[in-house]
Structure 1
Amino acid sequence: MRVEHFLEASAQVCPDKLALIEGGNRLTYRALDEAARTLAAALAERGVARGDRVVIFADNCWEAVVGLFGALKAGAVFCMVNPSTKAEKLRFILDDCKPTAVITIARLLATARAALAEQAFVKTVLVAGGKTDLAANETPFAEALAPREKPLRFAGIACDLAMLVYTSGSTGFPKGVMMTHQNVVAAATSITTYLDNTPDDIILNVLPISFDYGLYQVLMAAKVGATLVLEKSFAFPQAIFNRIRAEKVTGFPIVPTIAALILQMRDLKPGDLDLRYITNTAAALPPAHIQRLQELFPATRLYSMYGLTECKRCTYLPPSELKSRPSSVGVAIPGTEAYVVDDNGEKVGPDVVGELVIRGPHVMKGYWRNPEATDRALRPGPHPWEKVLHTGDLFRTDADGFLYFVGRKDDIIKSRGEKVSPKEVESVLFQLEGVKEAVVIGVPDPVLGAALKAVIALAPGVALAERDVIRHCAARLEDFMVPKFVEFRAELPKTDNGKISRRETALLEAQS
Structure 2
Amino acid sequence: MLVNTVLENSAQKYPDKIALVCNDERLCYKEINNKAAKFSSYLIKAGIKRHDRVAIFIDNSVESVIALFGVLKAGATFVMLSASMKPTKLNYILKNSGASFLITNANKFRIVKNSLKNTDELKHIIWCASEGKPIGLGEAKDEKAESFWESIFKENSKPNPKINSGPIDIDLSNIIYTSGSTGDPKGVMSSHYNVLSATRSISQYLEINDKDIIMNVLPFSFDYGLYQIFMTFLCGATMIIEKSFAFPYRIIEKIATEKITGFPIVPTMAALLFKIDTLSKFDFSSLRFISNTAAALPFTYIEKLQKLFPMAKVYSMYGLTECKRVSYLPPKDIDRKKDSVGIAMPNEEVFVVDEDGNEVGPDVIGELVIRGANVMQGYWKDPETTAKVFRPGRYKGETLLYSGDLFRKDAEGYLYFVSRKDDMIKTKGERVSPKEIESVLHSMDGISEISVFGIPDEIFGQSIVAAVVLEKGKKISGKDIKKYSTQNLEPFMIPKFIEFYKEFPKSTSGKIDKKTISANYMKMFVTPNSEAIK
How does the TM-score come out when normalised to structure 1?
0.98
**1:46 Cα deviation (Å)?**
1.3
Tell me what 1:101 maps to. Answer: 101
- CA distance in 2: counterparts of 1:98 and 1:384, whole angstroms: 30
> How far is 1:329 from its partner?
0.8
**Which letter maps to 2:229?**
V
Map of 1:261 onto structure 2: 272
Paired residue for 2:500? 488
Give, in angstroms, the shift of residue 168 of structure 1.
2.3
Corresponding residue of 2:241: 230
Secondary structure (helix, strand or coil) at the match of 1:264 reads: coil
Which whole-Å CA distance do the structure 2 matches of 1:442 and 1:474 have between them? 18
Structure 2 partner of 1:145: 152
Residues of 2 paired with 1:429 and 1:137: CA distance?
56
1:265 aligned partner, one-letter code: I
1:179 aligns with 2:165: no
3-state SS, counterpart of residue 279 of structure 2: coil
1:290·1:326 contact (CA, 8 Å) conserved in 2?
A: no
Structure 1's 149 and 21: CA in aligned 2 closer, same or farther, altered over 3 A?
Answer: closer
Structure 2 unaligned spans of 5+: 525-534
Tell whether 2:222 aligns with 1:219.
Answer: no
> Residue 289 of structure 1: SS of its match in structure 2?
helix
Q: 1: CA distance between counterparts of 2:239 and 2:314?
A: 19
The answer for the alignment partner of 2:378 in structure 1 is 366
Give 1:385 deviation, angstroms.
4.4
The Cα of 1:272 is off from its aligned counterpart by 3.9
- Structure 2 distance, partners of 1:434, 1:133, is 53
Identify which of 316, 335, 352 aligns with 1:340.
Answer: 352
SS in 1 for 2:227: helix
Residue 129 of structure 1: aligned partner: 129
- Alignment match, 1:250: 261
Q: 1:174 to 1:152 in 2, by over 3 A?
A: farther
- 2:293 maps to 1:281: yes
Given the alignment of the two structures, is residue 290 of structure 1 paired with residue 302 of structure 2, yes or no?
Answer: yes
C-alpha separation in 1, matches of 2:482 and 2:123: 59
AA aligned to 1:105 is: N
Aligned residues: 512
Contact conserved, 2:209 with 2:236, CA < 8 A, in 1? yes
1:340-419 map, 5 Å: 340-383=352-395, 385-419=397-431
Q: 1:266-296: per-residue Cα shift (whole Å, max 9, x none)?
A: 2223984121000000011111111111111
Kindly report structure 1 stretches of 4+ aligned residues shifted beyond 3 Å.
Answer: 130-133, 382-385
Give CA deviations for 1:430-468 in whole Å, capped at 9, x if unaligned: 111221111011111122110101011112221111101
| Residue 488 to residue 251, structure 1, CA distance change in 2 (3 Å) | same
- Judge conservation of contact 2:91–2:115 (CA < 8 Å) in 1: yes
Cα–Cα, structure 1 residues 375 and 508, in superposed 2: closer, same or farther, change >3 Å? same
Residue equivalent to 1:29: 29
Tell me how far apart the structure 1 counterparts of residues 399 and 466 of structure 2 sit (CA, whole Å). Answer: 39
Post-superposition Cα deviations, 1:375-411, rounded to whole Å, max 9, x if no partner, equal 0101132445422000000100112110011110000
Whether the 8 Å contact between 1:453 and 1:486 is mirrored in structure 2 is yes
CA-to-aligned-CA distance 1:61-102 (integer Å, 9 cap, x gap): 110000000000000000100011110001000000111111
Residue type of the alignment partner of 2:17: K
Compared CA separation, residues 441 and 149, structure 1 to 2 (3 A)? closer
Deviation at residue 122 of structure 1 after TM alignment: 1.5
Could you tell me which residue of structure 2 aligns to residue 160 of structure 1?
Answer: 171
Correspondence 1:318 to 2:330: yes
User: After the TM superposition, which of the residue ranges 45-54 and 270-279 deviates more from structure 2?
Assistant: 270-279
Structure 1 pair 406/246, CA: closer, same or farther in 2 (3 Å)? same
CA offset at residue 179 of structure 1? Answer: 0.4
The answer as to 2:456 corresponding to 1:444 is yes
Aligned residue for 1:116, secondary structure, equals coil
State the partner residue of 1:304.
Answer: 316
SS at match of 1:405: strand
Q: 2:198 & 2:353 partners in 1: Cα distance?
A: 23
Matches of 2:243 and 2:136, distance apart in 1:
25
Instruction: Give the Cα separation in 2 of the matches to 1:97 and 1:403.
Output: 35
Q: Is 1:46–1:123's contact at 8 Å kept on the other side of the alignment?
A: no
Q: What is the Cα-based RMSD across aligned positions, in Å?
A: 1.3
The more displaced of 386-395 and 265-274 is 265-274
Task: Give the distance between the partners of 2:159 and 2:57, measured in 1 at CA.
Answer: 28
Pick the aligned partner of 1:193 from 198, 204, 207: 204
Moved more, 430-439 or 166-175: 166-175
- The secondary structure found in structure 1 opposite 2:115 is helix
1:76 corresponds in structure 2 to 76
Cα separation, partners in 2 of 1:364 and 1:149, compared to 1, 3 Å: closer
**Cα shift at 1:349:** 0.9
Aligned to 1:114: 114
Instruction: Assess if the C-alpha contact under 8 Å between 1:270 and 1:297 holds in 2.
Output: no
How far did residue 149 of structure 1 move? 4.2
SS of alignment partner, residue 460 of structure 1 = coil
Gaps of 5+ in 1: none
d(CA) in 2 for partners of 1:52 and 1:145? 19
Cα pair 2:253 2:282 within 8 Å, conserved: no
Q: Indicate conservation of the 8 Å contact 2:348/2:371, yes or no.
A: yes
Q: Secondary structure at the match of 2:412?
A: coil
Contact 1:192 1:220 in 2 (8 A): yes
* TM-score scaled by length of structure 2: 0.94
**What is the SS of the residue equivalent to 1:64?**
helix
